[in-house]
Amino acid sequence: MAITINLLLIANILYAQTVIEPVIAGDFADPSVIRANNQYYAVGTSSEWAPHFPVYTSKDLLNWKQSGYIFERAPEWTSGSFWAPEYDYHDNTYFIYYTARRKKDNVSCIGVATSKYPDRDFVDQGVIIDYGREAIDAFVYLDGSTRYITFKAYGLDKRPIEILAYKLAKNGLKTTGEPFSLLKDDQRIGLEGQSIMKKDGYYYLFYSAGNCCGAQCDYNVRVARSKSFAGPYELYAANPLLMENEYWKCSGHGTFVKAANGKDYYLYHAYNKKTNVFSGRQGMLAQLSWPEKNGWPVLKEQSGPTLNQDLKITFTSPEIDKRWQWDFRNSMPAIKQQNGQLHLSGSINKDNLSGIALTVRPVSAVFEAATTVTNTNSALKGLVYYGDAGAALGIGIIGNEIEFWKVENKIRTVLSKIKIPFNSPVELKMKIEDDLSVMAFFKQENQGWQNVPVNEKITVNFLPQWDRSPRIGLLFKGSVNQGADFSAFELKY
């Protein structure tokens, strides 16, 4: 019996060691990382959420905390699709090269912003690469005294996708000369998210192949090498370096950083196979090694710490929590905190059926979210699980009625209504189950939680968008002279 128990214990320990945890949990796609001021900074895609391009800091590459955003407001030339920001540093200046759609023609271009700090006060310097129907995924490489900016081209054309490169001007704000090709994808299996380093006389071009996003993704990380920066590049016969494993899938789009211990690490993204698109492309870490001289590299996944991800946001400070984000295309929130409450109001686009969603990034598909509404008016105030203005569901109070609602395929449906006396704050809760079904609850004062009944099983399958996970948070839907007051927000997994 003792031998059996010991074997089981050993087996459980070995099993636990195989679990790979993210280092930045929740949707944090296309990360770029830099080491500065004796710590690390990482920035990632924000897509259609504002503020734009979240920034995280860490002392050890494993434990990260959000510190802010690159842009509090979208640069004037942009309309959306804020993807793939990339760090660079020289001349006492931090650069962020980023992808966004241009307002005048909806073409994806690469812009650049600068700051004296790695995590704040960035000033947009406008478009640096406007190339064909799409230019995305910038990466800057310093070769001797010459800087190059590389990017993906032709993804929307009926021609082979290529990684192209320009020389950069010394100030980093414009390209010089003509672009040239580094690597071509003749089979159009995918080629993007590149990162380049040099070792033992070879230039190694790491890149992502396949479909990046959504439930049907098949992304993976590959490598090619050349004796010349301009190529030609030889593909590694044993590609890919990172691929689907027991827990994660669709690994891709990362950059390298040299750690304080002298080792190189690759910060990239992947989908958790269990929670998939509901927790998005999460920040992952792999260590780079070179088993043989002049040989090919190996990337080995590293596990982040196992953390309690439960979240409780209080409103005791005038400072707004940095984790809140909203859909800037469909609403403009006004947020104020005082006397222990968050006041949410603002303007809503006329075709926005869902309202203003002030949200955070969930790290799982299964959770409970709760809030307390403290004021009464004819506006809808409560909780929302939000994918887009045309894909959301929530529970709120409007006047003296509890309303459980959803917007699907741009059609708004009231699932249930319950009249209550509004003589005290109302607590609201949404619970997402393993089968992705959702239940809604409310309570007042010392009463127990009451379920909001519905006639059918409600699921959240319709919420995820192609390139981003849905968010959970607070809702306001009313006129600009109204508002919603909340005294708490909690998220439990």
Give residue-wise pLDDT tens across range 22-77.
999 999 999 999 999 999 999 999 999 999 999 999 999 999 999 999 999 999 99
Average pLDDT over residues 359-365: 97
Average pLDDT over residues 161-180: 98
Res 13 pLDDT > 90: no
Q: Do domains 24-302 and 311-492 have the same CATH topology?
A: no
Average pLDDT over residues 166-181: 98
Kindly indicate the confidence band of residue 230, based on its pLDDT and cuts at 50, 70 and 90.
very high
CB–CB of 115/123 below 8 Å? yes
**Mean of all residue pLDDT scores within the chain:** 95
For residue 442, the one-letter residue type is F
Q: How far apart are CA 188 and CA 432, in angstroms?
A: 38
Q: What is the pLDDT of residue 445?
A: 86
Q: What is the pLDDT of residue 11?
A: 38
Q: What values do phi and psi take at 148, rounded to 5? A: -120, 145
Average pLDDT over residues 148-163: 96
| C-alpha dist (Å) from residue 14 to 6, 8, 10, 11, 449 | 12, 10, 6, 5, 41
| C-alpha dist (Å) from residue 30 to 73, 373, 482 | 20, 36, 38
Q: What is the pLDDT of residue 421?
A: 86
Kindly indicate the confidence band of residue 4, based on its pLDDT and cuts at 50, 70 and 90.
very low
Average pLDDT over residues 191-208: 98
Res 390 pLDDT > 80: yes
Kindly indicate the confidence band of residue 2, based on its pLDDT and cuts at 50, 70 and 90.
very low
Q: What values do phi and psi take at 386, rounded to 5? A: -120, 120
Q: How far apart are CA 386 and CA 406, in angstroms?
A: 10
CB–CB of 428/440 below 8 Å? yes
Q: What is the pLDDT of residue 423?
A: 78
**What is the CATH number that goes with domain 311-492?**
2.60.120.200
Which two three-digit tokens encode residue 6? 């010991």
Kindly indicate the confidence band of residue 157, based on its pLDDT and cuts at 50, 70 and 90.
very high
Kindly indicate the confidence band of residue 222, based on its pLDDT and cuts at 50, 70 and 90.
very high
CB–CB of 205/273 below 8 Å? no
**Beta carbons within 8 Å of 422's beta carbon, 6+ residues apart:** 376, 397, 399, 400
Average pLDDT over residues 156-176: 97
The answer as to CATH 3.40.50.300 being correct for domain 24-302 is: no
Triad 48, 320, 444: Cα angle to 5°: 100
Beta-strand pair 52-58/78-90 = unpaired
Which letter, b or e, does each residue of 131-165 get, where b requires 16 or more Cβ atoms within 10 Å of its Cβ?
beebbbbbbbbeeeeebbbbbbbbbeeeeebbbbb
Res 5 pLDDT > 90: no
For residue 350, the one-letter residue type is K
pTM confidence score:
0.95
Q: What is the DSSP letter of 403?
A: E
Q: How far apart are CA 431 and CA 458, in angstroms?
A: 11
Q: What is the pLDDT of residue 268?
A: 99
Q: What is the pLDDT of residue 3?
A: 41
Q: What is the pLDDT of residue 18?
A: 73
Q: How far apart are CA 431 and CA 52, in angstroms?
A: 29
Q: What is the pLDDT of residues 299-357, one digit of tens each?
A: 999 999 999 999 999 999 999 999 999 999 999 999 999 999 999 999 999 999 999 99
Q: What is the pLDDT of residues 266-291, one digit of tens each?
A: 999 999 999 999 999 999 999 999 99
Q: What is the DSSP letter of 76?
A: T
Kindly indicate the confidence band of residue 422, based on its pLDDT and cuts at 50, 70 and 90.
confident
Q: What is the pLDDT of residue 339?
A: 96
Q: What is the pLDDT of residue 206?
A: 98
Res 9 pLDDT > 70: no
User: Cβ atoms within 10 A of the Cβ of 123, count?
Assistant: 10
Q: What is the pLDDT of residue 6?
A: 45
Q: What values do phi and psi take at 487, rounded to 5? A: -110, -5
Give the start-end residues of each E strand in 48-129. 49-50, 52-58, 64-71, 78-90, 93-102, 108-115, 123-129
- Side-chain-side CA neighbours of 17 within 13 Å: the count stands at 6
User: Cβ atoms within 10 A of the Cβ of 46, count?
Assistant: 27
Q: What is the pLDDT of residue 210?
A: 97
Is the Cα dihedral 166, 56, 52, 285 positive or negative?
Answer: positive
Q: Name the residue among 256, 247, 285 with its Cα closest to residue 269.
A: 285
**Rounded CA Rg of the chain:** 24
Q: What values do phi and psi take at 434, rounded to 5? A: -60, -35
Show me where the domains of the chain are located.
24-302, 311-492
